[in-house]
Amino acid sequence: MNLLRIELHKILPYRTVWVILAIYAALLLLILYASSKVTINGSELGEKMYDLPAFWLRLTYIASFFNLLFGILIIVLVSDEYSFRTLRQQVIDGLSRAELVLAKFYVVLALGVLGTVFLLLLGLYFGLLHSTDHSLSAIFGHIDALSYYFVQAVGYMTLAMLFGFLIKKSGLAIIAFMAYAKIVEPLLHFRLPDAVDKYMPMKVLGSLTPMPGQQMLDQLTTPTELLSPAWATLPAIGYITLFCLLSYYTLKLRDL
Amino acid sequence: MADILDINNLSKRYGSIQAVDRLTIRVEQGSIYGLLGPNGSGKTTTLGMVLDVIRPSGGSFSWFGQPVSRDTKRRIGALLETPNFYPYLTAQKNLRIVADIKGVGDSQIGHVLQLVGLSQRRHTTFKGYSLGMKQRLAIAAALLNDPEVLVLDEPTNGLDPEGIAEVRELILKIAAEGKTILLASHLLDEVEKVCTHVAVLQRGELRAEGPVSTILSAKDQVIIGAPGTARLLEVVQQLPFVATHHTERDLVHLTLQDGYSSMDVNRAMFEAGIVLSQLTVRRKSLEAQFLEIIKQQA
């Protein structure tokens, strides 16, 4: 826990962190407000949008798009350590390379918790304000979506951490991270059969928060094969472990 | 005395460049050990390797007779190349992070800030510091765990003359407490003024090593002149105590073997029937000697 305390000493006074978190919160709120005004077949989605328990699924699906922001934040924090040369200084002062990675992973976990708690509060606020059914079973019906969201956010951030450790420069690392998550892997999905690509990292992480109404869409077009959120958890945790190990080996094999 | 640092055949290669070539040195307890060499001679690379941030290509080293570990690091305070801190944090907060990593209490922070004269500016952010203040903060951070060994890489780099004098005084003060200091510098004068032992590096190779007094002892040079240089040279060549000599215009430059002085030269010349028109003793500059050491094997 000493490692987390050290990280908090670095992060809490850092304005960039607060700015990125503020952007995350603001964008998410904006989307939540705006999406209820979406009209489908001439009728506004309106209040139904916030109906619990389905709202948990919608909320986590929407929030999954903003994991990129968390990823960027982690890349900034990691690449800062290179550009301030503090990574090197911390090794001189007594931390091991494994501890350097572990410390950043604790930050990832902390941000994951922060994001999940924020969604919990948003869900309760919008849900209780707008939905008619206030029974416990409705409120907590799909609340496990939050735990899948947590795993997903941690997964995205761990991949971002790996890119940060690997590439050192924040700009390049952010571009590489976004390019991989949004372009390279989706392109690979086209080439590969569903049975294979459903195990690829971005798809695994994506299947943790499936698009609400996917089943309906599948009936109209050819169904895409996805792991269920519960099944995707296992490979997701595997990828998280892998990204941490790769980060560690990057540091181990490199001069700081 | 016990060895603090034992470096054995340590090498580092960057592609085609041999940055450090089979370096073997020993740093004894209580010494102020200078690593002297021009820029790019491998000083920082060497320190980086023994500080566990650069992977050696070959060879080994041990601190206090043990491989590098968290325990050995706790006994070392080091600054490598540049002061490395979070620019947006104040000096106080930067040092708190270092204290947490080194596992020492916050009470030390005030003490070391006082020691380097930054108490007044403890709440200024690091990016607002001048270069000299940054350097002093780095020394404060290195002192935080009250280390047995202090490793300093170019500690007076970028400081003004006053700052340089302050840092040197600080180093001597710390050494007087019985701490061992390993100091890298390209400034000969600095090594001569501060260090007890020196290793001279050039292009990654060890050129000379030993106590400063023997490696950098400024041997006197005697310059003589007389009417009739040919006859003068003839006599000089016969003198048993002349180590080397060479002629520059009509003057002859001599270096003498230990235990002889200009008086002996004068007496010998007089006995040979030569009256010197000029007899000058010149202390050889350290720079000249340093260049000589480097030239010897180049």
Residue A84 to residue B101, Cβ atoms within 8 A: no
Nearest chain A residue to B52 by CA: give it. Answer: A92
Cis peptide before A210 (omega within 30 of 0): no
Same domain for B106 and B28: yes
Q: What pTM was estimated for this model as a whole?
A: 0.85
Nearest to A227 by CA among A249, A202, A199: A199
Give the model confidence (pLDDT) of B249-291 as tens digits. 888 888 887 778 888 888 888 888 888 888 888 766 666 777 7
- Measured distance CA(B95)–CA(B113) in Å, rounded: 9
Same domain for B171 and B243: no
Task: Give φ, ψ of B210 to 5 degrees.
Answer: 155, -175
Number of structural domains (chain A) is 1
Number of structural domains (chain B) is 2
Same domain for B205 and B286: no
Q: Which helix (H) or strand (E) holds A45?
A: none
Same domain for B201 and B65: yes
**Domain stops at, among B198, B215, B232:** B215
Residue A74 pLDDT level (bands cut at 50, 70, 90): very high
Question: Residue B225 belongs to what domain range?
Answer: 220-295
All residues of chain A having their beta carbon less than 8 Å from the beta carbon of residue B102 are 93-94
A9 touches chain B (CB under 8 A): yes
The CATH number covering residue B132 comes to 3.40.50.300
Nearest to A2 by CA among A115, A102, A114: A102
Strand partners, B200: B36, B208
All residues of chain B having their beta carbon less than 8 Å from the beta carbon of residue A90 are 101
Candidate from B82, B103, B141 with C-beta closest to A85: B82
Q: In what order do the strands lie in the sheet with B242-248?
A: B242-248, B251-256, B220-225, B278-283
B87 touches chain A (CB under 8 A): yes
Same domain for B283 and B145: no
Q: Once rounded to an integer, what is the mean pLDDT over residues B7-25?
A: 94
- Measured distance CA(B194)–CA(B175) in Å, rounded: 10
User: Residue length, chain A?
Assistant: 256
**Domain stops at, among B215, B233, B260:** B215
Q: Which helix (H) or strand (E) holds B197?
A: strand B197-202
Give the model confidence (pLDDT) of B169-183 as tens digits. 888 888 898 899 999
Q: Say yes or no to pLDDT of A40 above 70.
A: no
Provide the pLDDT for residue A46: 66
Provide the pLDDT for residue A168: 95
- Measured distance CA(B265)–CA(B123) in Å, rounded: 65
Residue B97 to residue A256, Cβ atoms within 8 A: no
B51 touches chain A (CB under 8 A): yes
**Domain stops at, among B183, B215, B247:** B215
Same domain for B234 and B121: no
Give the model confidence (pLDDT) of A94-141 as tens digits. 999 999 999 999 999 999 999 999 999 999 988 888 877 778 887 888
- Measured distance CA(A243)–CA(A165) in Å, rounded: 10
Same domain for B284 and B170: no
**Cβ(B185)–Cβ(B34) under 8 Å?**
yes
Provide the pLDDT for residue A218: 65
Per-residue tokens: B282: 């010149």
Provide the pLDDT for residue A191: 87
Residue B77 pLDDT level (bands cut at 50, 70, 90): very high
Same domain for B107 and B73: yes
**Cβ(B282)–Cβ(B255) under 8 Å?**
no
Same domain for B171 and B62: yes
A83 touches chain B (CB under 8 A): no
Question: Residue A133 belongs to what domain range?
Answer: 2-252
Same domain for B136 and B250: no
Chain A nearest C-alpha distance from B298 (Å): 29
B84 touches chain A (CB under 8 A): yes
Count of CA atoms in the C-beta half-sphere (13 A) of B92: 10
Residue B226 pLDDT level (bands cut at 50, 70, 90): confident
A251 touches chain B (CB under 8 A): no
What is the maximal distance between C-alpha atoms in chain B?
77
Provide the pLDDT for residue B173: 86
Same domain for B270 and B172: no
Residue A95 to residue B101, Cβ atoms within 8 A: yes
Give the model confidence (pLDDT) of B134-188 as tens digits. 998 999 999 999 999 999 999 888 788 888 888 888 888 888 988 999 999 988 8
Query: CA quadruple A49, A54, A60, A61: dihedral positive or negative?
Result: negative
The CATH number covering residue B267 comes to 3.30.70.100
Residue A94 to residue B102, Cβ atoms within 8 A: yes
- Measured distance CA(B205)–CA(B196) in Å, rounded: 21
Best residue of B75, B82, B84 to probe chain A, by most A CBs closer than 10 Å: B84
Candidate from B80, B89, B101 with C-beta closest to A88: B80
Q: Please spell the DSSP secondary structure of A146-178, one letter per residue.
A: HHHHHHHHHHHHHHHHHHHHHH--HHHHHHHHH
- SS3 percent helix, strand, coil of chain A, rounded to 5, is 75, 0, 20
Q: Say yes or no to pLDDT of A13 above 80.
A: yes
A12 touches chain B (CB under 8 A): no
Provide the pLDDT for residue A183: 93
Same domain for B194 and B131: yes
Q: Say yes or no to pLDDT of B109 above 90.
A: yes
